[in-house]
Amino acid sequence: MSALRNIKYNEEEDGELPSLVTGEETNLKEILENVSYDGGNIVSDAKVERVNKQMESVGNNMKGSQKRKRIPVSIITGYLGSGKSTLLEKIALKGADKKIAVILNEFGDSSEIEKAMTIKNGSSSYQEWLDLGNGCLCCSLKNIGVKAIEDMVERSPGKIDYILLETSGIADPAPIAKMFWQDEGLNSSVYIDGIITVLDCEHILKCLDDVSVDAHWHGDKVGLEGNLTIAHFQLAMADRIIMNKYDKIEHSPNTIKQLQKRIREINCIAPMYFTKYSETSIDKLLDIHAYDSIRVSDILDNSVGGGTIHDHRMGTVMLTFRPLRDEEEYNEKFLKQFLQPLLWKNFGALTVLEDGSQHNEHNWEVQRTKGLILIEGNNPAVRVIQGVRDTYDVFPGRCDDDGSQKECKIVLIGKYLEKDSIEKLLHKTLNNN
Q: How many CB atoms lie within 10 A of CB 215?
A: 12
Q: Longest Cα pair distance anywhere in the chain, in angstroms?
A: 107
The whole-number pLDDT of residue 139 equals: 60
- Domain ranges across the chain: 2-66, 71-292, 314-431
Distance, CA of 252 to CA of 246 (rounded, Å): 10
Phi, psi of 250 (to 5 degrees): -60, -20
Distance, CA of 149 to CA of 147 (rounded, Å): 5
Distance, CA of 157 to CA of 163 (rounded, Å): 14
The whole-number pLDDT of residue 252 equals: 94
**Topology agreement, domain 71-292 and domain 314-431:** no
Nearest to 191 by CA among 63, 279, 293: 293
CA distances from 28 to 10, 15, 31, 32, 37 (A): 25, 20, 5, 6, 17
The whole-number pLDDT of residue 336 equals: 92
423 within 8 A of 319, measured Cβ to Cβ = yes
The whole-number pLDDT of residue 118 equals: 28
82 within 8 A of 166, measured Cβ to Cβ = no
Give the angle subtended at the CA of 255 by the CAs of 249 and 261, to the nearest 5°: 125
The whole-number pLDDT of residue 360 equals: 43
The DSSP string of 307-343 is T--S-SSEEEEEEEEPPBSSHHIIIIIIIIIIIHHHH
Q: What is the mean pLDDT of each run of 10 residues along the chain (433 residues)?
A: 46 54 62 53 58 58 56 90 87 77 57 33 41 54 65 81 82 82 69 94 86 48 63 93 95 94 91 94 91 62 50 84 93 93 67 49 80 90 89 80 78 88 91 76
Angle of helix 174-183 relative to helix 146-154, nearest 10 degrees? 60
Architecture of domain 314-431: 2-Layer Sandwich (3.30)
How does 109-148 read in b/e, with b if 16+ C-beta sit within 10 Å?
bebebbeebeeeeeeeebbebbebeebbbbbbbeebbbeb
366 within 8 A of 389, measured Cβ to Cβ = yes
The whole-number pLDDT of residue 221 equals: 47
Cut 0.75: pTM above it: no
Architecture of domain 71-292: 3-Layer(aba) Sandwich (3.40)
Distance, CA of 101 to CA of 121 (rounded, Å): 18
Nearest to 88 by CA among 286, 347, 313, 303: 286
The whole-number pLDDT of residue 76 equals: 93
